Chains A and B, each alone.
Chain A
Amino acid sequence: MKHFTRLAAAALAVTVAATSAPAQETEELFVPNLAYRTGPFAATGIPLMNGQRDYAQMLNARDGGVGGVMLNFEECETGYNTQKGVECYEKTKGEAIVTQPWSTGITLQVLPKTNVDKIPVLAPGYGFSPMADGKVFQWAFNVPGSYWDAASMILKYISGGDLGSLNGKTIAFLHLDHPYGKEPLPFMEAMEKEHGFKLEPIPVGLKEMQNQSAQWLQIRRLRPDYVVMWGWGAMNAGAITEAVKTKFPMDKFVGVWWSSHDADLRIVGEKGKGYKAISFSRPVLDAPVLSDLEDYVYSKGDSLASEEERQGVFYNRGLVISMILTEAIATAQKHFDKAVIGPEDLRWGLENLNITDERLEELGMSGMVAPFSTSCGDHTGHSGGWILEWDGEKFVQASDHLTPDSEVIRPMEIAGAKAYAEENAPWPVNESCDAQAG
């Protein structure tokens, strides 16, 4: 009888939870975030989540939400665990107008379901690069840049703008051995063939993240001209400390935007000087938005972030990400002329984003992200970014605004999207779009 009652209790609790959820149906926009503040990747997750959360709180306190409707910015803890992420997705999708999966693994799981559930996936700067093809991936958005964009900009930067000059050079590609780390490989390999440099992929297993002595021994033997890193969580700090230990020249070491966490570099401090990372966002510490945050969030003690954290690249990127989301909400509200929008309205909003310099100025976020716009066929926006350099204490901008080679990337994105759609047939395609135009 015991296990029967337990089963019944479980069923009861679930039905209670399910029936009590719609009770809170007031005028608000439910924008859940599949956050991770626990688990092995928490250190890198927390500043991003805090930035996102603080921006939403600031809007609620300052403007009463977006378009007069409060944002219900709720976190669902995943611990970067795919299973928990799917649980969160199932739990939130009924009421939510967007899903922010915050992990390539969760994005992978959720992506095929969004066509059926009709809910937009917002994966800023991560997920599949072919998601840029809005014709195929109608519900997915990886604004303002994809991993292929990042790889392209890094190659552009290290070659000084002319990829041909890389001919004969060796680039070691140190990456997490995981869908995330493998994502830029097709693009890098295509570039290797075209421009005649030598690409040496060096995978770092999830279990070896903290101890990369074998990988760095290989790097020492290869004597590459550059090391390009696609790392996350504990892998970044592991690689940076190992690079310092093996005395690898830091100015030849470039990471993706998820490898630009201040705390990872602070461990090595001065010795990390010269380390670079591409980034679609940059902290602008005198931006007007920060004084609003001070007035409406920090001074009230509503922020979970520390003073130091708020200066960092990741926290400021969190602000930018929430801004992209709320701008999409505002765009949709204006177009459909209603304050309470649904997921399908938000999809339109995300597809018709136009973040201009003037708009950033109005938002008080000038310079924190480069202007970009999305369209039906282009779900990425390809804003480009900057190279940030560690000066021993903080990340500073080290290059002019860089843009990815869209002429090269676009056909690859379309081909990748097509292959995905074929593998997952029958897959609905938005015929009204012209993907080539993106």
Chain B
Amino acid sequence: MFYRTAGQFKTTYRDDQALFPIRQDAVLVAVILILAWAVFPFIATEFAFQTLLIPILIYSLAALGLNVLTGYAGQLSLGTAAFMGVGAYACYKMLTIMPWLDPIVAILLSGFFSAGVGVMFGIPSLRIKGFYLAIATLAAQFFLVWLFEKWAWLYNYNASGAIQAPNITSVFSGGTYVSGPLATSFTQYYMVLGITTLLTILTINLTRGTLGRTWKATRDMDFAAELIGINLMRSKLSAFAVSSYIVGVAGALFVFMWRGAAEPNLFDIPLSFTILFIAIIGGLGSILGNYLGAILIVGLPVVLNTVPAALGLPLESAFVEHLNLMIVGGLIIFFLIVEPHGLARLWGLARQKLIVWPFPY
């Protein structure tokens, strides 16, 4: 019904290889983009901006970065939060050393620092695999957070050891504040949305191209990939670089476009796990999955928290919090049992059913 493909003929290879070979997909994406770009920002309250829209986008972007590495190239990483931290601290240092730098440019540049660090910690992946590699990235996680705590230069010798996003204007927002307390959520949302959209389009195309195919070959069987002439070193390290770049940008956005301040232990292992869970529950090796996962893990608890108050139930706040943990935890288990390959696969199956409906074969 919704997905009738009858009448959509492909007459060229180009058409057949298009990003959205089925017209309904393109329409759906267009609707979502219109919602994100032109509808949500105008109906959202300050609360919705700060607890749903902006964080979901930033977490999705971080999960997207991790997915490039873990989902596409098959290299398990537990150090995502530390690489986010590298992005955030690099951005902070750049903006305090060079105050004339545009913050959006600084955020995009800060990704290169985390890409460098990512490649460095990716070198062991040439020799070790699987859980052993996970331990190597875990080392990155502990080492980098330790560094953020001990290297006082990173936080400009601030007495409390925290970094704060200064008030800075950007040409990209027409000269209004984009970071710091004076920035409006509206502006910050558009900046985050812009960068997230840009990086998502880039990643979609990367994963469809030569590089993406090399990564997938590496993931599926690395020595077979080597036998057909793929340079494993280049493939793995490029995955680490691209992944860490995206994660680093997400980290800079995390601090400058959302939180406004950060202390080192913000980038500790719980954040890494949250992002890994988003990627796994959303679906490894999928782009859409990151968004679905972030909606489930970041967005749903916030919405659930408002439900008892909206219904007028007089529940204690701590009780709601416990209930919330149980419901979200239950849902995660439910989704993983129903579809171990994640929400993106669930959506893929539903879509397939809709395409053949009403005559399933």
A residues in contact (CB < 8 Å) with B:
1-4, 6-7, 9-11, 13-18, 20-21, 35, 37-38, 74-77, 79, 82-83, 86-87, 90-91, 94, 104-105, 108-109, 112-113, 115-116, 128, 177-179, 182-183, 185-186, 205-206, 416, 423-426
Contacts and interface: CB of A to CB of B under 8 A. Distances in A.
Given A90-B46, A425-B167, A77 B260 contact: no
B201 interface: no
B217 to A, nearest CB: 29
Given A90-B46, A90-B47, A37 B318 contact: yes
B28 A183 contact: no
A113 B300 CA distance: 25
Contact of B182 (A116, A128, A205): A116
Given A35-B317, A91-B306, A116-B181, 9 more contacts: A4-B31, A4-B35, A11-B40, A13-B307, A37-B318, A87-B51, A177-B149, A424-B164, A425-B167
Contacts of A16: 310
A77 B167 contact: no
A16 B312 CA distance: 12
B162 interface: yes
A74 B268 CA distance: 31
Nearest to A23: B312
Contacts of A6: 292, 295
Contact of A112 (B45, B180, B307, B347): B180
B167 A426 contact: yes
B259 A3 contact: no
Given A17-B309, A424-B167, A4 B28 contact: yes
A424 B180 contact: yes
A416 B157 CA distance: 13
B350 A75 contact: no
A112 B164 contact: yes
Given A11-B40, A178-B265, A3 B295 contact: yes
A1 B321 contact: no
B318 A75 contact: yes
Across the A-B interface, give the 9 residue pairs with the lowest CB-CB distance, nearest first: A112-B181, A179-B160, A37-B318, A17-B306, A77-B321, A77-B317, A75-B317, A90-B47, A90-B50
A222 B283 CA distance: 53
A186 B51 contact: no
Contacts of A91: 47, 51, 306
Contacts of A10: 52, 295, 299-300, 303
A3 B291 contact: yes
A86 B268 CA distance: 19
Given A109-B261, A112-B180, A15 B318 contact: no
Nearest to A74: B317
B317 A3 contact: no
A76 B47 CA distance: 14
Contacts of A185: 159
A14 B48 contact: yes
B181 A18 contact: no
A222 to B, nearest CB: 20
B102 interface: no
A176 B48 CA distance: 34
Contact of B321 (A38, A74, A178): A38
Contacts of B317: 35, 37, 74-77
17 contacts: A1-B2, A2-B346, A2-B347, A11-B40, A11-B48, A15-B43, A15-B45, A20-B310, A86-B50, A90-B47, A90-B51, A105-B263, A108-B263, A112-B180, A182-B159, A426-B167, A426-B182
Nearest to B258: A86
B180 to A, nearest CB: 7
A183 B306 contact: no
Nearest to A9: B303
Interface in B258-287: 259-261, 263, 265-266, 268
Contact of B306 (A13, A115, A186): A13
Contacts of B164: 108, 112, 423-424
B45 A18 contact: yes
B167 A79 contact: no
Main secondary structure of the interface of B (DSSP, over half): helix
Interface in B122-157: 149
Interface string B30-52: 01100100001001111110111
Contacts of A90: 46-47, 50-51
Nearest to B346: A2
A184 to B, nearest CB: 9
Contacts of B149: 177, 205
A14 B47 contact: yes
Contacts of A82: 259, 266
A7 B31 CA distance: 12
Contacts of A77: 317-318, 320-321
A14 B295 contact: no
A38 B322 contact: yes
B347 A87 contact: no
B160 A424 contact: no
B161 interface: yes
A112 B47 contact: no
A77 B305 CA distance: 10
A177 B145 CA distance: 12
A1 B28 contact: yes
Nearest to A21: B309
A91 B47 CA distance: 6
A89 to B, nearest CB: 9
Contact of B260 (A37, A109, A177): A109
B302 interface: yes
A187 B310 CA distance: 47
Greatest chain A CB density within 10 A among B149, B161, B181, B305 is at B181
Interface in B296-350: 299-300, 302-303, 305-307, 309-310, 316-318, 320-322, 343, 346-347, 350
Contacts of A15: 43, 45, 48
A264 to B, nearest CB: 21
Nearest to B304: A13
B166 interface: yes
Nearest to A91: B47
A178 B263 CA distance: 8
B306 A14 contact: yes
Contact of B159 (A7, A11, A17, A186): A186
Contacts of A178: 161, 263, 265
A337 B291 CA distance: 52
A182 B161 contact: yes
Contacts of B159: 182-183, 185-186, 416
A182 B295 contact: no
Nearest to B45: A18
B169 to A, nearest CB: 11
A104 to B, nearest CB: 8
Contacts of A426: 167, 182
A7 B295 contact: yes
Nearest to A1: B2
Nearest to B2: A1
Nearest to B184: A116
